[in-house]
Amino acid sequence: MLLLTADLVLTGPDGDRIPDGAVLVDGSTIVAAGSRAELDRHPGAAGAQRRDFPGATILPGLINGHAHLVWDASMAMLAHYFDADDAELLLGVVGRAQRALRAGVTTLRDLGDRRGLVLRVRDAIDRGELTGPRLLGSAAPLTPPKGHCWFFGGEVDGIEAIRAQVRHNAALGADVIKVMASGGQMTPDSPPTWAAQFSRQELRVVVEEATAAGLPVAAHAHGTGSIAAAVAAGVSTIEHCSWQGEQNSGPDLRDEVAREISARGIAVCHAYPPDWRGFAEFVGEQRFAEAVQRVRWMDERGVAFLPGTDSGVPTSVFDDYAGALSYYVEAVGWTPGRVVELATAGAAAALGLDRVGRVSAGFDADLLVVDGDPSADVHALRRQRLVLTRGEPVTPA
């Protein structure tokens, strides 16, 4: 048994805090969380190894909803991806997953992978052969021939090919089916971001086939038409969700679609990078302000948000999730406490994970100890003192 104590325990949900708190861990499971005085009286505490963290906060390990472990976040990431054979790529995946873990990310959803490499790493971590975060993987995203990110290997042409690819990904062990509902960046000669890549009927078939395999669907969608189609098809999460109008006509915000996203409990993963200030400079003040306004507009309509970073694309590193989360505080204007909830209990709910994201008896011991109070200062998430993954301590970044 391991007894951790700190000035504060944030259990996950915003406002749920235990001053002068403690957490008792048995193997990979949290057996109790409460005040230090309560846990000192717990029968398990007597023989437990004790670690005190004055001035620190214990909270659930962070959950990153959108990353690409096969990419290295360099400016030449695509060339590196094409040049690497599977063995090299596999080692890169392991290294980047471990960097994310050391920075406090104990669960990471990967949304674009070649030949299920990330799933193999996930399995090795699950078997205890490798140290790493809990991984969820999509395998190769579905995209039309030469469509956005075709090079992951998920090109499909027509309904039967869609069904076959979903079944193939499910058989590989995917945790989620990813579909590129619209075009995207970084794939030369593929449809523009605002353009739909699949019809409504095709998206419906993706969801139908995924549901038959017991899997949720993550839809990459920039254009408003593709967002509406993905919502109507019944996907679980929408990635980027940037509400672009047809033919680059500017933002096309549709009230009824946003309300439907909210009503269906679909989570939006905005996927902004840790260096969002650099990104803001790159896209220009006006486009950045529009993006922030879209987040507020969706929030006013009750849309649930799932934070993610798109780590792996240029500059989006794996070991600064706190930087990406600071966007919601410093650009959007939400409280740090709300953002901690989004990256822990909220993200777990959005991903359908019922054993992580909270510091509570019976949950897996994925824990983070940081100096200071991240519910008052989001940057405290960078000051890691300890990371626990399934009860195993990891040296922080």
Q: Which residues form the interface with Zn ion (CB under 5 A)? A: 310
Least distance from Zn ion to the Cβ atom of residue 68, Å:
6
Which tokens sit at 174? Answer: 């995917």
Give 34 or 116: the residue with its C-beta nearer to Zn ion: 116
Three-class SS of residue 102?
Answer: helix
> HSE on the CB side for 377, CA within 13 Å?
10
Least distance from Zn ion to the Cβ atom of residue 112, Å:
6
Give 113 or 310: the residue with its C-beta nearer to Zn ion: 310
Least distance from Zn ion to the Cβ atom of residue 14, Å:
27
Least distance from Zn ion to the Cβ atom of residue 58, Å:
31
Whose CB is nearest to Zn ion?
310
Give 72 or 310: the residue with its C-beta nearer to Zn ion: 310
Least distance from Zn ion to the Cβ atom of residue 343, Å:
18
Q: Does the CA dihedral 37-38-42-45 come out positive or negative?
A: negative
Which tokens sit at 167? Answer: 């079944």
Least distance from Zn ion to the Cβ atom of residue 201, Å:
25
Residue 167 has phi, psi (to 5 degrees) of -65, -40
Give 148 or 294: the residue with its C-beta nearer to Zn ion: 148
Of 270, 386, 284, whose CA–CA distance to 334 is shortest?
270
Give 45 or 69: the residue with its C-beta nearer to Zn ion: 69
List of residues 6+ apart from 146 with CB closer than 8 A: 155, 189, 190
CA dihedral 85, 90, 93, 94 (to 10 degrees): -150
Give 14 or 310: the residue with its C-beta nearer to Zn ion: 310
Q: Does the CA dihedral 332-338-344-348 come out positive or negative?
A: negative
CA dihedral 224, 198, 119, 88 (to 10 degrees): -90
**How far is 271 from 222, CA to CA, in rounded Å?**
12
List Cα–Cα distances, 232 to 228, 310, 356, in angstroms: 6, 25, 29
Order of strands across the sheet with 367-371?
29-35, 17-26, 2-10, 49-60, 367-371, 384-389, 392-394
Least distance from Zn ion to the Cβ atom of residue 40, Å:
46
Least distance from Zn ion to the Cβ atom of residue 223, Å:
16
Q: Are 264 and 275 in contact (CB under 8 A)?
A: no
Give 36 or 68: the residue with its C-beta nearer to Zn ion: 68
| β-sheet bridge partners, residue 217 | 177
Give 133 or 184: the residue with its C-beta nearer to Zn ion: 184
